[in-house]
Amino acid sequence: MLYLLHEPSETETVKENILPLLKNIEHEMIALPLEKEFDLDTSSSLMCYLPDAALKEIIPMAARNKWTVTILPHPENKFTSPGLGVSDNLEEVITEYAECQEPFKVDLLSCNEVPVFSSVNIGDIFIFSERNGKKSFFQEVVNIVRNIRRASSLSHHSYQLSADGEKLIHTSALGIVVVEHASSSLVSRRLLKGSSMSDGSFQAFILAPQNILVLFWFFVKSLVPRSKTLTRLPSFIGKIKTSNLKIADEKAMEYTIDGEKKQARELHFEVKNQAVILRQKSSFSQNESKEDGRKSLKLEGMPKGETRKELIRRSLPLLPRASSEQFQELFKVLRSNSTISPAFMVMMILSTLIATFGLFGNSSPVIIGAMILAPVISPIVSFSMGMVRYDVQMLKASFLTITAGTLVSLAIAAAVSLIVPLKVLTPEIEARLSPTLLDMGIAISSGIAAAYAHSNEGIAKSLAGVAIAVALVPPLAVSGIGIGWWDWQVFSGAILLYATNLAGIILFAGLTFLLLGFAPFKRAKMGLVYTLIIVILVAVPLSLSFNRIMQEANITRALEGATIENVVLRDVRIRFGPQMVVSLRLVGAETIEPERIQSIKEEIENRIDQPIVLEVVSAMSF
């Protein structure tokens, strides 16, 4: 026997639209509420044309009595049918009922004994929209942009989670979403797809971003069209798969069950395995064997301890902010690095000796070895942290260490240059005499890398690469050589390169620490301003050098391979000084007379529009 349940106010609608489809099926119409003595035998079935509110009472009753149920589409059935994965076509549902040979059993999830068909959203889980019809891509974008606008007011809430009487974690999060299967939002479909409703378990996702930037980036990636579910959860999303779960807080939690707002201090979730017997098809029946129902946890990235307390006390910051534990550990290392130690001085002396001999020997591998040994990058990074934290003690210690290392390096290199009976500008020495804005770019990148490597213990080994990239000791050694030779041009060019590296690293390492949350901007702004002024002052001569390099490149490009009076110009090189010197090789079919060379010089001066000193090597081609 089939019993057709409906609201009393919808009797005429049922007679007009549903009964004609049941003419060959024995049935009886029953209007709610049900009488207390209402009972069915096991061969009878319920067919429900009801809104969500009524179904939340009828389906648990059917589950307790093991009645088979068929859910008909209803204008106010926005969560039950989609949540159970059944059709929203009236004729199709009735056909499925008539042809059903074996009912399909699904789990029944409840929250504080209230059935859950779509999801339970606790806190600020705005990215997991309630199932209210499938949203288009454009609607998802509009929804995310609307929520991002209020992201600055978001803050973490405290949650204690336990399962099977065992404490799982005490953490903080924007909120938690509990589902049995993929909900209708674009984001949650990426996190959970193809899940089963008959494995005796459900999923709880804990959304715990520690800044707005990472949340925004997750939104952007979620909007990229792709067919597959994310293979790995983002680090700020925890996941619990279980058959029961208790979520508690000292304060009343705001949450929604299938769009209905509620409040409670404790939430008890439980799933009854295969409790609902459907006499119709469900889209989740195809996924029945894909889940094993075992409990699993992914909680590594969830805030704990002091981090949890800090996130609860304040609104979600725009940029990453270091926790107390992270700051204390890093600060301990940087404070140690800021002080002068015998090991620091010994390594500065050895690295300078190696670099100086490598410069005289024109050996790049030797110079690279000196870069790796040089310890001066450590107090420079400490100085950056002292600047943004306005820690006077660390600033003084780092300044003294950097100054001592610099003076020792200059003295050692000068002494070596006096001992070594060579006064030749090797290519390795010459390469450090004309710094440009390109070197400032290297210093900036190295400063960022150095600060990030110090703040992240997992990549601290990259500091050797940073030391090679920024090359602090070789320009110091060249400056010392300039002192020993009493050559102002050598000293000034190399010391400018050293100052460039120093200023670039300090400023941008400090900015990196600021962005990583190791210092508030109010405290850091004065130190950043002073360092920025120094960088600008250093950039002035660098820009002049850069213009000189561009001029050299333009002249070389104009002359290389040019033909003047049947003579080809090859191997063009430019040197700047009181007067520009152009060195090149003249290749012709016959011997080139001095008068002809003078004519070629005049033509070159006309082409580049300035006087030159010409150095030539004559060659004949046969």
Q: What is the pLDDT of residues 211-267, one digit of tens each?
A: 777 777 777 666 665 555 556 778 888 899 999 999 998 889 999 998 889 999 999
Regarding whether 609 and 524 lie in a shared domain, the answer is no
Cβ neighbour number for residue 347 with a 10 Å cutoff: 17
Mean pLDDT of 353-376: 86
Q: Answer for the pair 590, 600: CB distance below 8 angstroms, yes or no.
A: no
Q: Is residue 554 part of a domain?
A: no
pLDDT of residue 264: 93
pLDDT value of position 388? 81
Contacts of 22 (CB under 8 A, 6+ apart): 2, 4, 94
Q: Mean pLDDT, to the nearest integer, of 405-431? A: 88
38 vs 309 pLDDT, higher one: 309
CB 198 within 8 A of CB 107: yes
- Structural domain for 524, as ranges: 324-549
Cα(77)–Cα(73) distance, integer angstroms? 7
* Model confidence at 517: pLDDT above 80: no
Give a yes or no: residue 250 inside a domain.
Answer: yes
Residue 205's DSSP bridge partners are 177, 239
618 or 77, which is more confident: 77
| Model pLDDT, residue 94 | 92
The mean pLDDT of 198-211, rounded to a whole number, is 85
Task: Give the pLDDT confidence of 532-552 residue by residue, as tens digits.
Answer: 777 777 677 666 666 677 777
pLDDT in tens, 520-534: 666 666 667 777 777
- The 3-state DSSP class for residue 196 equals coil
Are 258 and 171 in the same domain?
A: yes
The reported pLDDT for the residue numbered 487 is 87
In this prediction, residues 357-377 reach a mean pLDDT of 85
Helix (H) or strand (E) holding 148: helix 137-148
Residues 6+ apart with CB under 8 A from 609: none
**Same domain for 441 and 339:** yes
Query: Does some domain include residue 555?
Result: no
Q: Give the per-residue pLDDT at 161.
A: 94
Task: Over range 180-185, report the average pLDDT.
Answer: 61
pLDDT of residue 228: 55
Average pLDDT score over the chain: 81
Q: What is the mean pLDDT of residues 199-217?
A: 83
Same domain? 153 vs 259: yes
Angle 526-528-532 from CA coordinates, rounded to 5°: 120
Express the helix, strand and coil content of the chain in percent, nearest 5 each: 50, 20, 30
Neighbours of 112 (CB within 10 A): 15
| Mean pLDDT lowest among 121-130, 361-370, 481-490 | 121-130
In the prediction, which pLDDT does 90 show?
92
Task: Return the exposure string of 556-577: e unless at least 16 CB atoms fall within 10 Å of the residue's CB, then b.
Answer: eeebeebebeebbbeebebeee
Q: Give the tens place of pLDDT for each residue, 101-144.
A: 888 888 999 999 999 988 898 987 765 544 444 555 566 566 66
Q: In the predicted model, what is the mean pLDDT of residues 443-453?
A: 81
Are the beta carbons of 171 and 308 closer than 8 angstroms?
Answer: yes
* Model confidence band, residue 285 (pLDDT cutoffs 50, 70, 90): low
How many domains is the chain built from?
A: 4
CATH number of 226's domain: 2.60.200.40
As a whole-number percent, the residues of the chain with pLDDT over 90 amount to: 24
- Tell me, yes or no, whether 371 and 399 share the same domain: yes
Residue 412 predicted with pLDDT over 90: yes
Query: Is 318 inside any structural domain?
Result: no
Tell me the CATH number at 85. 3.40.50.10330
- Domain end among 57, 84, 106: 106
Q: Residue 346's pLDDT is what?
A: 92
pLDDT of residue 292: 55
Are 344 and 482 members of one domain?
yes
Q: Which pLDDT score is estimated for 289?
A: 45
- The Cα–Cα gap between 334 and 451 comes to 11
Tell me: do 357 and 473 sit in the same domain. Answer: yes
Last residue of a domain, one of 69, 84, 106: 106
| Cβ neighbours for 621, distance < 8 A, ≥ 6 positions apart | 587, 588, 589
**Same-domain pairing of 406 and 422:** yes
CA 549 to CA 435: how far, in whole Å? 10
pLDDT digits (tens, 9 = 90+) for 326-340: 677 778 888 888 888
Check: CB of residue 92 under 8 Å from CB of residue 68.
no
> β-pairing, 581-588 with 613-620?
parallel
319 in a domain, yes or no?
Answer: no
Residues 395 and 299 in one domain: no
**Residue-level pLDDT at 130:** 46
Query: Could you please report the per-residue DSSP string of 384-437?
Result: HHHHHHT-HHHHHHHHHHHHHHHHHHHHHHHHHHHHS------HHHHTTSS--H
* Cα distances (Å, whole numbers) of residue 86 to 15, 83, 178: 23, 8, 20
Do 220 and 328 sit in the same domain of this protein? Answer: no
Same domain for 92 and 140, yes or no, is no
Query: Could you say which of 79, 106, 133 is where a domain stops?
Result: 106
Lowest mean pLDDT among 40-44, 45-49, 300-304: 40-44
Q: Return the pLDDT at 159.
A: 94
In this structure, the answer to whether residues 525 and 602 fall within a common structural domain is: no
